[in-house]
Amino acid sequence: MDEYQALKIERADQLATVTIDRPEALNALSTQVVAELARAVDELRSPEAAGIRCVLLTGSGAKAFAAGADIREMADMTEEQAAEYSGAMQDVTRELEQLPVPVIACVNGFALGGGLELAMACDFIYATASARFGQPEVGLGLIPGFGGTVRLPQLVGPARAKELIYSGRAIDAATALQIGLVNQVFDTREEMLEAAAATGAEIAAKSPAAVASAKGTIDAAAALPTAEGLLLEREAFAATFGTEDARIGTRAFLAKEKPQFIGK
Ligand code: CO8
């Protein structure tokens, strides 16, 4: 993988870990971070990344996943520059969602504003007990601009999203767990990363073709009425029968063997 200044990218077996690495600014999403995230997501799609079956996204340091967009950079932005910044980061969140492999956000400390919006573009969120989540933008005279008005209501319902966005209030990990914003909470960062890697290994042992199809179907169906979603599922389900993995998986089951999936 290429050189990065604001990110660290590590690969272990079938797992890639992307770490936002600006702890001195609580991993704020500067234009450089956004550009490097775009490049990293692109690389995760490239042939060199073949074999990676799950991605973890986290922040370096003890205090933050990401404390939002970079307020220092934003302070003097024109409307035009803000549209460009928001568009670039919205593209990153869409591309993350469209990666064929699952992405697990591992939130240590603050996930505020754009930080929470980035975490919500991942497939699901693990958190440390010290994590705090919020959309504080209205306190800056702004509104969420990296997808928060869209994804937060989808995840926790419009009424809870409105209370969080209008008040700018940050909630703790226990509350985030209770409202379904995060899947699991851990005492320490190490425990969280170990658990996420274990989940990644479980995912990696399954058919990559089927996991990619399930991811695409769930995300596409979320934007559709039930009948259309079911139709989409029917087509995607049928298409899995055209894959090698379906033959490998069903034959291995019948032979009482462990399947060795190839991803197509
Ligand atoms: N941007 C830039 N720098 C930041 C940010 C940020 N979002 N957050 C923290 N920092 C910097 C601080 O300025 C400080 O730097 P320095 O040491 O040079 O003064 C350093 O990180 C440490 O921060 P604090 O001293 O403030 O640490 P505390 O532990 O006292 O406080 C908080 C932690 C509560 C997280 C506090 O830093 C804070 O409130 N940060 C801002 C949180 C916020 O409002 N985030 C939302 C930003 S807006 C946004 O994300 C909008 C997204 C859509 C944009 C649309 C496109 C235009």
What is the amino acid identity at position 209?
Answer: A
Radius of gyration of the chain (CA): 19
Q: Are residues 192 and 123 in the same domain?
A: yes
Is residue 263 in a domain?
no
**Residue 47 confidence (pLDDT):** 81
Ligand 1 center to residue 68 CA distance, Å? 7
Ligand 1 center to residue 29 CA distance, Å? 10
Mutate to test the pocket of ligand 1, among 20, 21, 26, 167 (most ligand atoms within 8 A of CB): 26
Flag whether pLDDT at 1 surpasses 60: no
Q: Are residues 28 and 147 in the same domain?
A: yes
Q: What is the ipTM of this complex?
A: 0.96
User: How many angstroms separate the first and last alpha carbons of the chain?
Assistant: 24
**Nearest CA, atom 45, ligand 1:** 68
**Nearest CA, atom 37, ligand 1:** 67
Q: Are residues 234 and 248 in the same domain?
A: yes
Is residue 2 in a domain?
no
Query: Which ligand 1 atom sits closest to the C-alpha of 71?
Result: 1
Q: Which residues line ligand 1 (CB under 6 A)?
A: 25-26, 28, 67-72, 74, 82, 85-86, 110, 112-114, 136-137, 140, 142, 144-146
pLDDT tens profile 70-120? 999 999 999 999 999 999 999 999 999 999 999 999 999 999 999 999 999
Q: Are residues 47 and 165 in the same domain?
A: yes
**Residue 64 confidence (pLDDT):** 98
- Strand pairing category for 7-12 and 15-20: antiparallel
Query: Which ligand 1 atom sits closest to the C-alpha of 146?
Result: 53
Q: Are residues 128 and 180 in the same domain?
A: yes
**Residue 50 confidence (pLDDT):** 87
In sequence order, what E strands does the chain have? 7-12, 15-20, 54-59, 64-66, 103-107, 110-112, 124-128, 132-134, 170-172, 184-186
Ligand 1 center to residue 172 CA distance, Å? 17
pLDDT tens profile 214-247? 999 999 999 899 999 999 999 999 999 999 999 9
**Residue 113 confidence (pLDDT):** 98
The rounded Cα 95 to chain-centroid distance in angstroms is: 10
Query: Which ligand 1 atom sits closest to the C-alpha of 63?
Result: 29
Q: Are residues 82 and 94 in the same domain?
A: yes
Q: Are residues 179 and 220 in the same domain?
A: no
Q: Are residues 128 and 236 in the same domain?
A: no
Is residue 35 in a domain?
yes
Range of the domain at 178: 7-204
Q: How far apart are CA 15 and CA 234, in angstroms?
A: 30
Sign of CA dihedral 263, 47, 30, 197: positive
Q: What is the helix (H) or strand (E) element at residue 142, kind and residue range?
A: none
What is the amino acid identity at position 13?
Answer: D
Per the structure, the count of domains in the chain is 2
The fraction of the chain above a pLDDT of 90, given in percent, is 96
**Residue 2 confidence (pLDDT):** 63
Q: Are residues 111 and 192 in the same domain?
A: yes
Ligand 1 center to residue 135 CA distance, Å? 12
Q: How far apart are CA 97 and CA 45, in angstroms?
A: 12
* CATH code, 216: 1.10.12
Ligand 1 center to residue 7 CA distance, Å? 18
Is residue 176 in a domain?
yes
What is the amino acid identity at position 34?
Answer: V
Q: Are residues 195 and 214 in the same domain?
A: no
Is residue 200 in a domain?
yes
pLDDT tens profile 161-214? 999 999 999 999 999 999 999 999 999 999 999 999 999 999 999 999 999 999
Q: Are residues 39 and 101 in the same domain?
A: yes
The rounded Cα 141 to chain-centroid distance in angstroms is: 27
Query: Which ligand 1 atom sits closest to the C-alpha of 139?
Result: 44
Going by C-alpha positions, the residue among 71, 67, 169 that lies closest to residue 113 is: 67
Read off the pLDDT of each residue in 120-128 and give the average, rounded to a whole number: 98
Q: Are residues 87 and 173 in the same domain?
A: yes
**Residue 255 confidence (pLDDT):** 97
Read off the pLDDT of each residue in 133-149 and give the average, rounded to a whole number: 97
Q: List active site positions.
A: 117, 137
